């Protein structure tokens, strides 16, 4: 009998986003005798035995947070300094795996340079759930087209993954160099992301790019509750027109909704129901009944979809648009802007109501049209349910992934020229720059002249406060060397670093108590697991 294909799903967390981060796939694939799937995460929240944490002790978790802060505050880079990569590579689950599937590479604090080793040793799948992999830094680039030519002069370095210094071009060049030296399978959720991958100078050479739309539980998301019962559950007026949206400043186009509703004239009484961020519609609260629900779980969302007459999603950036699909599955019409993934995902204009991008007047007209023509909303809603059943079934999504794993397992691994990561020119100018920066991290986190300090410190390095080219080969080799040394110290060193742990914990109390809470909870879970 042929051995099972061993697949390792790698992600930041297990239960959050479980439908499309590999977690639900664990249960779905249990009865498949040709496949074994498990998962490694940074933050484990479930009790699933097939899920294991990448980092194994309290000190590793603290160093992880320190490295991320140092990258943000001192270096203005991302996905370079990492103990997650060596921790993953040294794990038994990694060693046993035939295929490694990275679900959103950038949220797992992995180093880009580690992809060279991982792709040499394993067959690799990376899901592009957003455009980060083709840009120098940002997750959604809006109207900017710099990603096509090198991400020079970023127009806004303050969006997600903020840089203090504009290193976007350097990160773009680093990704290009890494991608040119690896072979991967890429999974994308929509034709929009597929087209970006094929247009990008970074990724257009990759041959194996697979469109696998995300899926939802159609037995859960449906219209069987009924509008009257749903409104009663959420304490919404039974006879109002209810407009539902996700309120968020960053990407969801909330300001256009506000502008549209300010302009809207109707004799119908309207309730505007929101989830996510609160108090984003305060300027129109005198005109409408505003109900801010804040964060909603799936059950509350189900009631909200069933309670509303229409769902608004005029996003500025979407790689897929999960909430739009959930609303469609609940037979509700969806209004979207003509940008990114939503037009194709909602099958607009036949199903989704398509509005000119960033045009609040056109958005207002679309809202008014559905208010005045409820029969059209009902017709589009029924079509949306049909489209969801045909295209967005979670079972189909899981089956497509499993079939992809089986095809990859049978395929021949492409041979890539191996790079010698151990041969380093420590005296080149770029190498000296990164050594100086890494010394700063060592000095801030390890007692001077201690054994660990001496193992990490680069000696006789002068002050060099100059911009570093992170796409430089020697720079990346030194970063890879430092990551491995740091991992060895926090993993195999003697447990005599109480001073370091106290210093790190004190810093997190001051700068980020949520991260400290996560680190402490992880330690408690480890203790409880040992006792059990």
In a domain, 420, yes or no: no
Q: Are strands 353-355 and 334-337 parallel, antiparallel or unpaired?
A: parallel
Indicate if 180 and 145 belong to the same structural domain: yes
CA distance 330 to 244: 13
Predicted TM-score (pTM) of the model is 0.88
Q: Which range has the worst mean pLDDT, 165-169, 170-174, 380-384, 489-493?
A: 489-493
CA distance 342 to 172: 26
Query: CB of 187 within 8 A of CB of 127?
Result: yes
Question: Which CATH number do you get for residue 137?
Answer: 3.40.50.2000
Indicate if 128 and 206 belong to the same structural domain: yes
In a domain, 222, yes or no: no
Indicate if 128 and 269 belong to the same structural domain: no
Number of domains forming the structure of the chain: 3
Angle at Cα 22 formed by Cα 21 and Cα 26, nearest 5°? Answer: 150
Q: 524: pLDDT confidence band, cut at 50, 70 and 90?
A: low
Indicate if 45 and 176 belong to the same structural domain: yes
Q: Does the structure show a pLDDT above 60 at 501?
A: no
Indicate if 206 and 268 belong to the same structural domain: no
> Which of the pair, 137 or 2, is modelled with greater confidence?
137
Helix (H, G, I), strand (E, B) or coil at 404: helix
In a domain, 416, yes or no: no
Indicate if 202 and 112 belong to the same structural domain: yes
Query: CB of 482 within 8 A of CB of 114?
Result: no
Query: CB of 153 within 8 A of CB of 146?
Result: yes
CA distance 272 to 283: 13
Chain-centroid distance, C-alpha 500? 31
Indicate if 38 and 139 belong to the same structural domain: yes
- Kindly report, residue by residue over 397-418, the tens digit of the pLDDT: 999 999 999 999 999 887 777 7
- Residue 323: which domain range? 227-392
Q: Does the structure show a pLDDT above 70 at 532?
A: no
Indicate if 212 and 266 belong to the same structural domain: no
> Which of the pair, 422 or 432, is modelled with greater confidence?
432
Indicate if 9 and 151 belong to the same structural domain: yes
- What is the number of alpha carbons within 13 Å of residue 365 lying toward its C-beta? 8
Q: Which range has the worst mean pLDDT, 55-64, 447-456, 510-519?
A: 510-519
Residue where a domain stops, chosen among 392, 419, 451: 392
In a domain, 476, yes or no: yes
- The owner of tokens 């340079």 is 113
Indicate if 452 and 518 belong to the same structural domain: yes
Indicate if 79 and 114 belong to the same structural domain: yes
Residue where a domain stops, chosen among 383, 410, 437: 410
Q: How far apart are the first and last CA of the chain?
A: 36
In a domain, 78, yes or no: yes
Instruction: Order the strands of the 334-337 sheet from edge to edge.
Output: 289-292, 270-276, 241-247, 310-313, 334-337, 353-355
Q: 419: pLDDT confidence band, cut at 50, 70 and 90?
A: confident
Q: Which residues contact 210 (CB under 8 A, 6 or more apart)?
A: 185, 186, 187, 188, 404
Indicate if 172 and 253 belong to the same structural domain: no
- Kindly report, residue by residue over 363-384, the tens digit of the pLDDT: 999 999 999 999 999 999 999 9
């Amino acid at each position: 009998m042929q051995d099972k294909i061993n697949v390792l799903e790698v992600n930041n967390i297990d239960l959050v986003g479980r439908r499309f981060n590999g977690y639900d796939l664990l249960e779905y694939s249990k009865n498949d005798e040709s496949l074994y799937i498990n998962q490694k995460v940074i933050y484990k929240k479930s009790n699933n035995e097939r899920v294991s944490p990448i980092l194994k002790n309290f000190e590793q978790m603290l160093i992880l947070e320190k490295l991320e802060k140092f990258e943000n505050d001192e270096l203005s880079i991302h996905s370079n300094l990492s103990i997650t990569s060596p921790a993953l590579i040294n794990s038994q689950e990694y060693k046993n795996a035939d295929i490694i599937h990275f679900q959103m590479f950038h949220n797992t604090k992995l180093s880009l340079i580690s992809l060279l080793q991982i792709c040499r040793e394993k067959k690799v799948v990376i899901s592009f759930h957003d455009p980060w992999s083709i840009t120098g830094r940002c997750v959604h680039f809006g109207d900017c087209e710099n990603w096509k030519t090198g991400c020079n002069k970023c127009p806004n370095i303050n969006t997600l993954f903020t840089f203090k210094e504009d290193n976007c071009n350097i990160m773009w060049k680093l990704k290009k160099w890494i991608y040119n030296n690896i072979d991967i399978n890429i999974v994308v959720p929509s034709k929009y992301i597929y087209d970006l991958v094929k247009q990008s100078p970074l990724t257009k050479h990759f041959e194996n790019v697979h469109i696998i739309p995300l899926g939802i539980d159609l037995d859960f998301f449906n219209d069987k509750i009924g509008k009257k019962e749903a409104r009663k559950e959420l304490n919404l007026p039974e006879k109002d027109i209810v407009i539902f949206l996700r309120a968020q400043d960053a990407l969801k186009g909330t300001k256009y909704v506000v502008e549209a509703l300010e302009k809207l004239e109707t004799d119908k009484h309207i309730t505007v129901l929101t989830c996510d961020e609160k108090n984003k519609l305060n300027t129109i609260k005198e005109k409408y009944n505003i109900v801010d629900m804040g964060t909603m779980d799936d059950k509350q969302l189900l009631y909200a979809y069933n309670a509303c007459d229409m769902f608004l999603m005029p996003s500025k950036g979407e790689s897929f648009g999960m909430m739009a699909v959930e609303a469609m599955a609940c037979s509700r019409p969806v209004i979207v802007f003509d940008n990114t993934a939503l037009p194709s995902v909602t099958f607009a204009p036949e199903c989704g109501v398509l509005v000119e991008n960033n045009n609040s007047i056109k958005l207002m007209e679309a809202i008014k049209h559905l208010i005045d023509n409820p029969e059209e909303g009902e017709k589009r809603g029924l079509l949306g349910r049909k489209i969801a059943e045909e295209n967005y079934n979670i079972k189909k999504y899981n089956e497509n992934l499993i079939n992809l794993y089986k095809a990859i397992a049978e395929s021949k691994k492409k041979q890539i020229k191996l790079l010698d990561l151990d041969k380093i020119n420590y005296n080149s100018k770029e190498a000296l720059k990164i050594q100086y920066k890494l010394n700063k991290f060592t000095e801030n986190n390890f007692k001077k002249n201690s054994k660990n300090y001496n193992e990490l410190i680069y000696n006789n390095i002068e002050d060099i406060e100059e911009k570093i080219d992170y796409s430089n080969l020697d720079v990346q080799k030194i970063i890879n060397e430092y990551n491995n040394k740091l991992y060895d110290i926090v993993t195999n060193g003697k447990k005599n670093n109480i001073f370091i742990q106290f210093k790190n914990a004190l810093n997190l109390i001051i700068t980020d108590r949520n991260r400290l809470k996560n680190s402490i909870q992880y330690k408690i879970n480890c203790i409880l697991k040992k006792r059990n």
